[in-house]
Chain A
Amino acid sequence: MLRFSKHETTFNEITKNMNISIPDRSEYLKTLAQSGQKIMGVLPALYPRELLWAFDIHATEIWDPPGEILHANAHLQTTICPIVKKSLEFILKEPDIINAGYLFPHTCDSLQNLGTQVKDLIGVSLPVYTFYNPKGSFNKMTTKYYRDILQNYQLTLETIYGPLNPEKLLAACVLSHKIDSYLLAIQQARMTDHLAMNNLDYFKLMRAQEYLLPSDYLSLLEQVDILDQPSESPRARLMVSGILPPTSEILRFLDELGVGIVADDLLAGSRRIPKFPMDTPVSPLDYLTDRFFVLPPCSTRGGDLDERLHHLSKLMDASQAQGMLFDMIKFCEPELFDHRLLVKTLREKNIPVLTLETELDSHISGQDKTRIEAFTEILFEMASA
């Protein structure tokens, strides 16, 4: 077992009186840090969280910390994506809730440079780690290389935290596997209307994995009610693609309009859950390697475009989505390159598409409201025709 149980009391206290309610991110992390938990701040997107867990390190993810961007502007140009800027703003504050260091997985050019910028030029008091994710189309050789990277990362951690306990790593993999299985089931339920949850709550639940201890997250997932009978279908069914789920205001607006997001192709969502259920882990490093290679296609890994198209169309079919919402982060190159082909292909199939461009402001502009409403007018018209 992982030694995280001592924090469960805190978690239970927070959730005791609520049916299934999700603890507030910063409160939760504050309590955790105060209890002496080692916490590593991890930037987007893919990294072997299980290895960190095995060293009793909690990985909390940094995507879009709230607050104004001020200090980061002295370090980054205006044409850099808001995720990179917001993350840097957060790191510059050197918040107490991060005490074990920062991990920069290799995701895109901007994050690649931000990692070395923070480590080699700006300098922070905590250690900065990096993790390379292979790019392009994969084969046997990539598998071997990925395994080497895992091993090297383990060695790095061992030099600081002492030898790895193999049993802990196995336990972490088993836990991760359980979480994956739940998430797959919940996704499936979402696609077929077996989940009575609005957009806002659904994505809150998805995003809770960014900061909850794995054991806490698992107990949250266990409480999710999967219906025996399908509930009423939303007025319009939408799939969303991009990096992060739409902002809460947009989700709320869609809820008001009666539009349900029934499937997602989000980097912070389904793109980091295996495409299909995996066997229970036996040998940790093999398991972690396999897991990386059965993740759905993603722009940031630069895989084959046909594969991506195929995957998306499978998701759309399974969820009976009528349209696609591309929620694009401004200046995000990996997404914006693929975007054109995805839109073109969907249009050719007469599937309505809407593209929003977001800088992750919590406020939704009048223009975007008009866009979303006009788009739902198309979807409703389609549904009634």
Chain B
Amino acid sequence: MSIRAELKYKIMKDYGAPALMVLQDFKRRKPRPIPEAFGPPLESNKRLKEILSRHYFLSRYTPGVKKVAWVTSGAPVELLRAFDFYTIYPENHSALVGAKKQGADYCGIAEGSGFSQDLCSYARIDLGHMLSGKTPAGKLPKPDLLFCSNNICQTVLYWYKAIAHELNIPLIHFDAPFVTTEQTEADINYMAQQLQDMIPILERVSGRIFYLNIFEDILKRSMETSKTWGAILDAMKAQPAPMTIFDAFGHLAPIVSLRGLPVAQDYYHFLMDEIDTRVTQGIGAISDERYRLIWDNIAIWYKVRFLATFFAERKMNFVTATYTNAWAETTGYLDVKNPWTSMAKTYGQIILNNNLKHRLDLMKKMIKTYSVDGMVMHSTRSCKPYSVGQFDLRKTITADLDLPAVILDADIADERVWSEQQIHTRLEAFCETLEGSKHG
């Protein structure tokens, strides 16, 4: 590893990135006016932006300093952290592209090269990025390693295999058997063994040795961070809720992509403090919260602002979501004394790797504990594991809990899958039902 590169990375990390960020801030247009329907914005937003821009910005100084890994959102990244990989989360990056309404462009590149339009748009955007080098983040380093787990979907395995083949780099896959009733001992042993078998490969790729105590520290930090994130989500039980789930979609980024690093841990303490203060002072995310909603499935990244405003104007606030909850739900299983089996339990049982009975029970519980009045489900063209079954989940939940619900057909990041008129009509009808049900 070159000393110059390392020095440059250090300098950029400590001085360059912050300086650049000030510059960018300066250049940035005036922030958009906040519609009246919203409460005061979170202070933490600024800090979040800094952390994320800095993370993407620094990545371009990694060559020769750190090995770069592309990682899926559900993969046990703690193990990679023990080898000091610089991690990039393609799903996060694709969401960023989607939020900038550039999804169709990137998808088009992948489609032009032969990938079907019917594939997950996170994958198509990422493949479009890989094939063209395009990114809204300026520049991203090429990966040295790919790390994926099918605990969120099989899709990531097919997708990462395609990258591994194209770039001719190693792929580590963590096979997480789907939980149809409960994890068996065989499942847990199989996963635990896989994790341990990864160590020699990771040592080879990273050129670093595995130290158990370092790994344990990372695990501890990860657990603690997830707990804080869980506590933040818990605080949304307050009425009015201190933030909207649309805020949380943004504040989710560090727990997904910087989990196990001090920066994430610190960030959530900061956010937690602000949330606590808001709760004590009774400050809500929207100025007049009359209805509380639950969101199911991943965000519609290119329409977050539209949806947030639409609902806030109708005094409706999203206070919980299965999506944001996913990074807090199973971390309770982590146990530093039994790192391997506890990771098998944590990562094997996350919501998308668990049966629909589990999902139904979880949603019902969330609806009760967060005092939810209505449910919005995003049926996303991209994601089979999140979407297959939603029709029946909706049916059961509305019947059992007498809860108004609506399903929106859209996509996570491909803005071509959006029918403004259809969605508008459905949303209006939903709001009418909701208003009728609460006051009728």
Contacts and interface: CB of A to CB of B under 8 A. Distances in A.
Is there a direct interface between A and B, measured as CB atoms under 8 Å apart in the complex? yes
A74 B407 CA distance: 13
Of the four ranges (under 10, 10 to 19, 20 to 34, 35 or more), the interface on chain B belongs to 35 or more
A121 B355 CA distance: 10
Contacts of A79: 118, 381
B379 A135 contact: no
B180 A299 contact: no
A344 B114 contact: yes
Interface string B51-90: 0000000000000000000000000000000000000000
A77 B387 contact: yes
B162 A341 contact: yes
Given A79-B118, A80-B384, A130-B180, A302 B392 contact: no
A333 B123 CA distance: 11
Interface string B19-55: 0000000000000000000000000000000000000
B40 to A, nearest CB: 39
B157 A302 contact: yes
A106 to B, nearest CB: 6
Nearest to A117: B389
* Residue in A119, A136, A304 with the greatest tally of chain B CB atoms within 10 Å: A136
Interface string A57-84: 0000000000000000011110110001
Interface stretch (B2-10, B170-178, B331-339): B170-178
Interface string A346-376: 0000000000000000000000000000000
A181 interface: no
Interface in A279-313: 299-300, 302, 304-306
Interface string B388-412: 1111110110000000000001000
Contact of A121 (B114, B119, B159, B393): B393
Of the four ranges (under 10, 10 to 19, 20 to 34, 35 or more), the interface on chain A belongs to 35 or more
A302 B119 contact: no
Given A109-B153, A121-B356, A336 B119 contact: yes
Contacts of B194: 141
A114 B115 CA distance: 25
Given A112-B178, A120-B357, A333 B186 contact: no
A337 B161 contact: yes
Contacts of A333: 118-120, 154-155, 158, 384
A116 B180 contact: yes
A75 B150 CA distance: 24
B116 interface: yes
Nearest to B391: A75
B175 A134 contact: yes
Contacts of B178: 106, 112, 130, 132
Interface string B116-159: 10111001000000000000000000000000001001110111
Given A116-B357, A135-B154, A148-B186, A339 B385 contact: no
Nearest to B193: A141
A141 B189 CA distance: 10
B213 interface: no
A114 B355 contact: no
B157 A75 contact: no
Contacts of A152: 184, 186
A300 B356 CA distance: 22
A302 B173 contact: yes
- Chain B's interface: helix, strand, loop or mixed, by majority? helix
A313 to B, nearest CB: 15
B170 to A, nearest CB: 11
A56 interface: no
A160 interface: no
A340 B161 CA distance: 12
A145 interface: yes
A341 B360 contact: no
Given A302-B161, A336-B116, A344-B114, A110 B355 contact: no
Contacts of A330: 118
A77 B388 contact: yes
A260 interface: no
B163 to A, nearest CB: 11
Interface string B413-433: 000000000000000000000
Nearest to A331: B118
Contacts of A304: 161
Given A135-B175, A136-B173, A343-B114, A112 B190 contact: no
- Chain A's interface: helix, strand, loop or mixed, by majority? helix
B204 interface: no
Contact of A75 (B118, B177, B186, B392): B392
Contact of B392 (A109, A121, A328, A341): A121
Contacts of A334: 154, 158
B389 A136 contact: no
Contacts of A80: 384, 388
A352 to B, nearest CB: 15
Contact of B158 (A75, A77, A121, A302): A302
Contacts of A141: 190, 193-194, 197
B165 interface: yes
B113 interface: yes
A308 B402 CA distance: 51
Contact of B177 (A110, A113, A132, A344): A132
Interface in A104-127: 106, 108-110, 112-117, 119-122
Nearest to B411: A79
A137 interface: yes
Interface in B332-358: 355-357
B162 A113 contact: no
Contacts of A122: 392
Nearest to B381: A79
A330 B396 CA distance: 29
Contacts of B180: 115-116, 119, 130
A141 B180 CA distance: 22
B158 A136 contact: no
A120 B181 CA distance: 10
A171 interface: no
A112 B385 contact: yes
Contacts of B357: 116, 119-121
19 contacts: A76-B388, A109-B154, A109-B384, A113-B356, A114-B389, A116-B357, A117-B389, A121-B392, A122-B392, A134-B175, A139-B197, A145-B186, A302-B158, A302-B173, A305-B162, A328-B116, A333-B118, A336-B116, A340-B115
* 7 closest Cβ pairs, A-B complex: A337-B158, A113-B388, A148-B186, A340-B114, A120-B357, A121-B392, A109-B384
Interface of A: 74-77, 79-80, 84, 106, 108-110, 112-117, 119-122, 130, 132, 134-137, 139, 141-142, 144-145, 148-149, 152, 299-300, 302, 304-306, 328, 330-331, 333-334, 336-341, 343-344
Given A114-B389, A305-B162, 17 more contacts: A110-B388, A112-B154, A116-B389, A120-B356, A120-B357, A135-B154, A136-B157, A141-B190, A145-B186, A145-B190, A152-B184, A305-B164, A331-B118, A334-B154, A336-B115, A337-B119, A338-B161
